[in-house]
Amino acid sequence: MADDKAKAAAYWSANLRLIVGSLIVWALVSFGFGILLRPLLSGIAVGGTDLGFWFAQQGSILTFIGIIFHYAWRMNKLDEELGGE
């Protein structure tokens, strides 16, 4: 019983760390690179436009899709390791 509670606590702790990390990356890419750091990224050309604009239009979407796949992959590994339900 105590072992199950310890495994459940470890599972949810790892899950919350993964969620918080994903949200930080998402906020940095979408808000940080697309809005706040856009003037610093304006000199770097990507696909005929500056990097800040690219992040605001396409980069944040591609990063979000990457985060979804990373979360699913990592949660599958976590389920195998800790046997989460």
Which pLDDT score is estimated for 48? 84
Query: How confident is the model over 6-37, as pLDDT tens digits?
Result: 888 889 999 999 999 999 999 998 888 888 88
- Confidence bin at 84 (pLDDT 50/70/90): low
Which amino acid is it at 31? F
Q: Which residues contact 30 (CB under 8 A, 6 or more apart)?
A: 55, 56, 60, 63, 64
Query: How confident is the model over 46-62, as pLDDT tens digits?
Result: 888 888 888 888 888 99
Within 1-85, residue ranges assigned H as helices are 2-27, 38-41, 51-54, 60-82
Region 36-44: mean pLDDT is: 85
Say if residues 51 and 42 touch (Cβ distance below 8 Å): yes
Q: pLDDT at residue 1 above 80?
A: no
